[in-house]
A and B are shown apart, each in its own frame.
Chain A
Amino acid sequence: MADLTTHFVGIKSPNPFWLASAPPTDKAYNVERAFKAGWGGVVWKTLGEEGPPVVNVNGPRYGAIWGADRRLLGLNNIELITDRALQQNLREIKEVKMKWPDRALVVSIMVPCEEESWKAILPLVEETGADGIELNFGCPHGMSERGMGSAVGQVPEYVEMVVRWCKQYTRMPVITKLTPNITDIRKPARAAKAGGTDAVSLINTINSITAVNLDTFAPEPSIDGKGTHGGYCGPAVKPIALSMVSEIARDPETFGLPISGIGGITTWRDAAEFMALGSGTVQVCTAAMTYGFKIVEEMATGLSNWMDEKGYAGVDDFVGRAVRNVTDWQYLNLNYVTKARIDQDLCIKCGRCHIACEDTSHQAIRKEKDGKRFFEVMDDECVGCNLCVNVCPVDDCITMVPVAPGLVDERTGRVVSADYANWTTHPNNPMAKAAEPAE
């Protein structure tokens, strides 16, 4: 049996599955239920400064998009940070940490961007015995209008400054949670590192309007006829989050900086992918909010079975293993040639591959043979784009088969070379340099 234990910036947890700072972690009741269900850790719902707590809207705070059978694909919310009193949260955090010493308990914090505010709250949190703090620089709605959340996360200088204060005023490990509402995620990550952060976590939610009500002409969710952008999360954001995680993982300036991966993680496989791209732990919100805490069982057993199959004894055996395979487009091997192959035994003759290729791509799939409905790839037209694979409704029916070096690519008439050659040295590239290896 694989060992799922993780050590993340000095915080130990029995498995890498943490609940992200959000409603599932807003109070002792939920967090204890989560721990009972098997979650390795939680990031407590973001605390604000002492004083009257923030208030939430009293109408709908969520919007969503759905796939077939109303499967929830994306969720958006306009909830703020915790709307419970600071002292009550702190009391509960302390109690829960005492009762569950083996679980990770990190506290998310968001206070105004002033040194005094951070200086004031950090000792209070430290006193609870929590394992670490997460700086919420990500919330994209409401709090950002008040100069907090993503308003900080979007300005690398602020990120660095606040992280520095935190490192100065607490001994607890600091995780900086980044907003994806920015053009280059590496900038705030570098800033956090410069400020001395122990880790980054990402992504927080993405600015979004999930729908417009076509009767009232108001965005959803609407509050008395008006709406505002919310933060988007759930399965739909996973690809964006994976890319951002990978950018930080492979950036020479932040290489090796611990990452807690967040964004659309729903199954063990999603988690494993985030980890392969360098996440030491993963955080989950929407999946738990959709299906309840029990999903962690599927995640833990799934990850463990996969690790057993692969022969990985512990998570460190594979965390980050995919990072070196993420590169720039310019370093992709242009001598690698593939052709689509249709398995005629599996083909159900829906014709989707044909019409996709015919209408929108390379006219490389014929629709008929001997007067009968029959779908076949024409190698002399196929550029190996993979569109047909993605639109085919049958698993493994169309596959991409590499053309072995030495054979002729029927489309170009050229012999496929075994050598690696990329754009940087390509004759069509006006900026072509002498050959250089990939990074």
Chain B
Amino acid sequence: MAGSAFKDGIAPGRLEPTQYAANFADLHPPLARHEALVEADRCYFCYDAPCMNACPTSIDIPMFIRQIATDNPMGAAETIFSQNILGGMCARVCPTETLCEEACVREEAEGKPVKIGQLQRYATDIAMEAGRQFFTRAEPTGKRIAVVGAGPAGLACAHRLAVKGHEVVVYDARPKAGGLNEYGIASYKTVDGFARAEVDYVTAIGGIAIELGQRLGESFSLDDLRARYDAVFLGIGLGGVNALKAEGEDAEGVRDAVDFIAELRQADDLSDVAVGRRVVVIGGGMTAIDAAVQAKLLGAEDLTICYRRGKQEMNASQFEQDLAASKGVTIRHWLSPRRVLTQGGKVVGLELEYMQLVDGRLTGLGHTMTIPCDQVFKAIGQTFEPRSAEGLALVGGRIETDGQGRTSREGIWAGGDCIVGGDDLTVTAVAQGRDAAESIHRFLAAAS
């Protein structure tokens, strides 16, 4: 055991140096050619395929699988990328068990859907590794569009605009492009710098300039952009986090889960990332699971996810829950945080109240329990920071758009997590970015 395995508090280097690579290896290793052919052969090539309808980007799944089956992975990649230019990332991070694979008729037939995500990865990997570009730009239109946010929504929008012949400048506040692909997605879902490689692949089409370290609301305003560009797209995601509303929330050792994941994703050496010996994660979604699993993989001894409602209400899919359980994470339900216990300003425990549904309303039972811990992660949802969307109509704290992604201001579109109806999925952000680009293109064509 490494030196700090049993060290109380929050410490780096809890594992043997060699163990990090094994712990953070690819969750689903890629399919080899024969595996892909065998799996592709399981597809029934359904009529009006349910999987395709379940995909937010409507990839022609039976077609790309048939192309794989006939040993034409390049054709398959083209089919995928023509609907979803981030098909490579989506193949890795989509909760397929609640999307295409849930709809697969094989799921109904035998409980074993075709491994659509894995097949998508097979084809897109081949094309991307070969550096094969499938799209060429239309004649230059002379139009310039500003895209704010280099996450999935912004990148998908920029790519489609570039295809149409427009010039795109993408601004992002962070030092790296990719959005949550780069900073948020669990590291075992996107290994070997894939997020970075994908940004390069997407921008290789040309006509897309990325300006990093440029924050809307600081470096420039919406009005500036509107004045300098023919159109603006906002794909700025969710910048804020919900508050715990528990006493002692500011203690040392209470941390935003998304922050922790970002640190981990950006670490050059995982043994530098500090983690508690006993950790509690608050929340019931994908972020809670990702934070818990990665903290466990970093060597935390005890990991408990506490969710204030029941198993059925958890946003994390069954697959994600099972993954957490398989890594030794305990998931507890009907517990809501009340008080962070500290000693010398440091976390030593978390007091939680038992909850119940009373007449359909979540109600505290008045009884509490305490979990000793040295670190608490908050994964109770992110919020939109409205500062950057000055002057745009919001609903429920997110930007309001119509079906094409148009905001309340002419010439400004938005998509992804920052809009109403963004459902916190990479693939949905891609679909919205792409569709907004089409709308922008129609708008610019009509204007000229």
A contacts, CB < 8 Å to B: 68-70, 348-352, 354-355, 367, 373, 393-394
Could you tell me the distance in whole angstroms from the C-beta of B40 to the nearest C-beta in chain A? 9
Across chains A and B, which 7 residue pairs bring their CB atoms closest together, nearest first? A351-B47, A355-B47, A68-B41, A348-B105, A348-B109, A350-B46, A350-B44
- Contact status B45-A352, CB under 8 Å: yes
Which partner residue on chain B sits nearest A373 by CB separation? B50
Is B176 an interface position by the 8 A CB rule? no
- Contact status A394-B109, CB under 8 Å: yes
In the complex, chain B residues 30-54 whose Cβ is within 8 Å of any chain A Cβ? 34, 37-38, 41-42, 44-50
**Residue among B34, B41, B47, B105 making CB contact with A354, cutoff 8 Å:** B47
13 A-B pairs besides A69-B38, A350-B44, A393-B44 with CB distance below 8 A are A68-B38, A68-B41, A68-B42, A348-B108, A349-B50, A351-B48, A351-B49, A352-B44, A352-B46, A352-B47, A354-B47, A367-B48, A373-B50
Q: Complex formed: what's the CA distance from A296 to B162 in Å?
A: 64
Instruction: Specify which chain B residues have a CB less than 8 angstroms from the CB of A351 in the assembled complex.
Output: 46-49
Indicate whether A69 sits within 8 Å of B105 (C-beta atoms), given known contacts A350-B46, A354-B47, A373-B50. no
Which partner residue on chain A sits nearest B106 by CB separation? A348
- Contact status B38-A350, CB under 8 Å: no
Q: Complex formed: what's the CA distance from A238 to B27 in Å?
A: 45
Which partner residue on chain B sits nearest A392 by CB separation? B44
Q: Complex formed: what's the CA distance from A355 to B106 in Å?
A: 18
Instruction: Specify which chain A residues have a CB less than 8 angstroms from the CB of B109 in the assembled complex.
Output: 348, 393-394
Instruction: Specify which chain A residues have a CB less than 8 angstroms from the CB of B34 in the assembled complex.
Output: 70
Q: Is the interface of B mostly helix, strand, loop or mixed?
A: helix
Indicate whether A350 sits within 8 Å of B41 (C-beta atoms), given known contacts A355-B47, A367-B47, A367-B48. no
Q: Complex formed: what's the CA distance from A394 to B105 in Å?
A: 11
Q: Complex formed: what's the CA distance from A337 to B161 in Å?
A: 59
Q: Is the interface of A mostly helix, strand, loop or mixed?
A: mixed
Q: Complex formed: what's the CA distance from A354 to B48 in Å?
A: 10
B contacts, CB < 8 Å to A: 34, 37-38, 41-42, 44-50, 105-106, 108-109
Q: Complex formed: what's the CA distance from A349 to B46 in Å?
A: 8
Could you tell me the distance in whole angstroms from the C-beta of B118 to the nearest C-beta in chain A? 16
Q: Complex formed: what's the CA distance from A273 to B42 in Å?
A: 29
Could you tell me the distance in whole angstroms from the C-beta of B69 to the nearest C-beta in chain A? 9
Instruction: Specify which chain A residues have a CB less than 8 angstroms from the CB of B45 in the assembled complex.
Output: 352
Instruction: Specify which chain B residues have a CB less than 8 angstroms from the CB of A355 in the assembled complex.
Output: 47
Instruction: Specify which chain A residues have a CB less than 8 angstroms from the CB of B105 in the assembled complex.
Output: 348-350
Q: Complex formed: what's the CA distance from A393 to B45 in Å?
A: 11
Q: Complex formed: what's the CA distance from A73 to B48 in Å?
A: 30
Q: Which of A348, A354, A394 has the most CB of B within 10 A?
A: A348
Instruction: Specify which chain B residues have a CB less than 8 angstroms from the CB of A373 in the assembled complex.
Output: 48, 50
Q: Complex formed: what's the CA distance from A346 to B247 in Å?
A: 56
Could you tell me the distance in whole angstroms from the C-beta of A374 to the nearest C-beta in chain B? 12
Q: Complex formed: what's the CA distance from A158 to B259 in Å?
A: 88
Could you tell me the distance in whole angstroms from the C-beta of B287 to the nearest C-beta in chain A? 34
Q: Complex formed: what's the CA distance from A31 to B72 in Å?
A: 43
Could you tell me the distance in whole angstroms from the C-beta of B286 to the nearest C-beta in chain A? 29
Instruction: Specify which chain B residues have a CB less than 8 angstroms from the CB of A350 in the assembled complex.
Output: 44, 46-47, 105
Could you tell me the distance in whole angstroms from the C-beta of B36 to the nearest C-beta in chain A? 12
Could you tell me the distance in whole angstroms from the C-beta of A371 to the nearest C-beta in chain B? 14
Q: Complex formed: what's the CA distance from A171 to B38 in Å?
A: 54
What are 22 A-to-B residue pairs whose CB atoms are below 8 Å? A68-B41, A69-B38, A70-B34, A348-B105, A348-B106, A348-B108, A348-B109, A349-B50, A349-B105, A350-B46, A350-B47, A350-B105, A351-B47, A351-B48, A352-B47, A354-B47, A355-B47, A367-B47, A367-B48, A373-B50, A393-B44, A393-B109
Instruction: Specify which chain A residues have a CB less than 8 angstroms from the CB of B38 in the assembled complex.
Output: 68-69
**Residue among B37, B41, B108 making CB contact with A349, cutoff 8 Å:** B108
Q: Complex formed: what's the CA distance from A35 to B426 in Å?
A: 63
Could you tell me the distance in whole angstroms from the C-beta of B65 to the nearest C-beta in chain A? 13
**Residue among B41, B44, B50, B108 making CB contact with A69, cutoff 8 Å:** B41
Q: Complex formed: what's the CA distance from A368 to B47 in Å?
A: 12
Q: Complex formed: what's the CA distance from A394 to B34 in Å?
A: 25
Which partner residue on chain B sits nearest A67 by CB separation? B41
Q: Complex formed: what's the CA distance from A349 to B109 in Å?
A: 9
Could you tell me the distance in whole angstroms from the C-beta of A415 to the nearest C-beta in chain B? 35
Could you tell me the distance in whole angstroms from the C-beta of B51 to the nearest C-beta in chain A? 11
Instruction: Specify which chain A residues have a CB less than 8 angstroms from the CB of B42 in the assembled complex.
Output: 68
Q: Complex formed: what's the CA distance from A354 to B49 in Å?
A: 12
Could you tell me the distance in whole angstroms from the C-beta of A157 to the nearest C-beta in chain B? 47
Which partner residue on chain B sits nearest A391 by CB separation? B44
Instruction: Specify which chain B residues have a CB less than 8 angstroms from the CB of A354 in the assembled complex.
Output: 47
Instruction: Specify which chain B residues have a CB less than 8 angstroms from the CB of A348 in the assembled complex.
Output: 105-106, 108-109
Instruction: Specify which chain B residues have a CB less than 8 angstroms from the CB of A68 in the assembled complex.
Output: 38, 41-42
Could you tell me the distance in whole angstroms from the C-beta of B92 to the nearest C-beta in chain A? 26
Instruction: Specify which chain A residues have a CB less than 8 angstroms from the CB of B37 in the assembled complex.
Output: 69
Q: Complex formed: what's the CA distance from A373 to B34 in Å?
A: 33
Q: Which of A349, A354, A367, A394 has the most CB of B within 10 A?
A: A349
Q: Complex formed: what's the CA distance from A348 to B113 in Å?
A: 12
Which partner residue on chain B sits nearest A365 by CB separation? B47
Could you tell me the distance in whole angstroms from the C-beta of A362 to the nearest C-beta in chain B? 16
Could you tell me the distance in whole angstroms from the C-beta of A188 to the nearest C-beta in chain B? 40
